[in-house]
């Protein structure tokens, strides 16, 4: 048991000391080690009481060291998975649930795997396509006259429209037509450094195949496992079957 002491200073400058435990044996006689009732001279009315407690070591608590790192990382992973789930639902609404016929969905699923998104989460997002949610696209103006295209999934177009209008008005924007003419819809295809036959594909070959398929640019980067991957920017509705196939 940690040693403790209570020091009471009365108005008459009298001091009283009670102590218990082995940590104060050198400071008080053995007869004072037992608990003693508070003398009248040291009552609450006669002075102030100061409590001293020994410091307790924290011990080897691993969670106290990693929680400040693990917490933000888990929150970021959850945010990424939520965005990918929404992207899956949007892709299915636009092009169907078959990745072989829906290149946009196939690309998103590849990103999900590279981010180590759980298979159950992916399947849940694919099954949500069967709900009555509608794909909605709104145009608006943001602060500074910026153009906004807002994609949404909702089972009530009127409520969704009202909510978005409220958010825009609250932040200095407004619903407005013509914004879609300010954008070119594009996508990013993510492929590995090997083709279907497990043959390596370098950046030069990836760029050649991507240009043949209609891509604008190819960038070499690394995924979370530090494996090389190629990200190919393409115009919407064009396919990258030649890159994936070869």
Q: Is 98 exposed, middle or buried (0-12, 13-18, 19+ CB in 10 A)?
A: exposed
Give the per-residue pLDDT at 235: 47
3-state secondary structure of 88: helix
Q: Are strands 4-10 and 15-20 parallel, antiparallel or unpaired?
A: antiparallel
Give the per-residue pLDDT at 9: 41
For the record, the structure tokens of 13 come out as 């400058």
| pLDDT tens track, the chain, 246 positions | 444 444 444 443 444 444 444 444 444 454 544 444 555 555 555 556 666 666 655 555 565 566 667 777 788 888 888 888 888 888 887 788 888 888 888 888 988 888 888 988 888 888 776 666 778 889 999 888 889 999 888 888 889 999 999 999 999 899 988 888 888 877 777 766 766 677 777 777 777 777 777 777 777 766 555 454 455 555 444 444 333 334
> Does domain 79-129 correspond to CATH entry 3.30.450.20?
no
Question: What are residue 13's phi and psi, to 5 degrees?
Answer: 70, 20
Are 229 and 114 spatial neighbours (Cβ–Cβ below 8 Å)?
A: yes
Cα separation of 207 and 216, whole Å? 9
The string over 113-152, giving b where at least 16 C-beta atoms fall within 10 Å of a residue's C-beta and e elsewhere, is ebeebeeeebeebbeebeeebeebebbbbbeeeeebebeb
């Amino acid at each position: 048991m940690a040693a403790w002491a209570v020091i009471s200073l009365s108005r008459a400058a009298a001091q009283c000391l009670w102590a218990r435990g082995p940590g104060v044996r050198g400071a008080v006689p053995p007869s004072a080690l037992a608990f003693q009732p508070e003398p009248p001279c040291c009552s609450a009315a006669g002075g102030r009481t100061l409590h001293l407690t020994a410091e307790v070591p924290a011990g080897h608590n691993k969670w106290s060291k990693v929680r400040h790192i693990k917490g933000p990382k888990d929150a970021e992973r959850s945010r990424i998975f939520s965005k990918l789930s929404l992207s899956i639902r949007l892709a299915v609404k636009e092009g169907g649930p078959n990745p072989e016929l829906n290149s946009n969905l196939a690309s998103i699923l590849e990103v999900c795997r590279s981010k180590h998104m759980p298979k159950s989460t992916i399947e849940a997002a694919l099954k949500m396509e069967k709900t009555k949610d509608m794909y909605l696209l709104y145009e608006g103006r943001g602060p500074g006259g910026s153009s906004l295209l807002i994609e949404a999934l909702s089972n009530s177009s009127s409520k969704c429209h009202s909510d978005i209008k409220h958010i825009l008005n609250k932040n200095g924007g407004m619903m407005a037509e013509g914004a879609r003419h300010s954008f070119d819809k594009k996508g990013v295809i993510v492929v590995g450094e090997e083709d279907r036959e497990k043959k390596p594909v370098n950046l030069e070959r990836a760029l050649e195949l991507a240009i043949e398929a209609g891509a604008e640019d190819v960038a070499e980067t690394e995924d979370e496992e530090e494996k090389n991957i190629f990200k190919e920017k393409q115009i919407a509705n064009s396919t990258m079957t030649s890159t994936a196939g070869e």
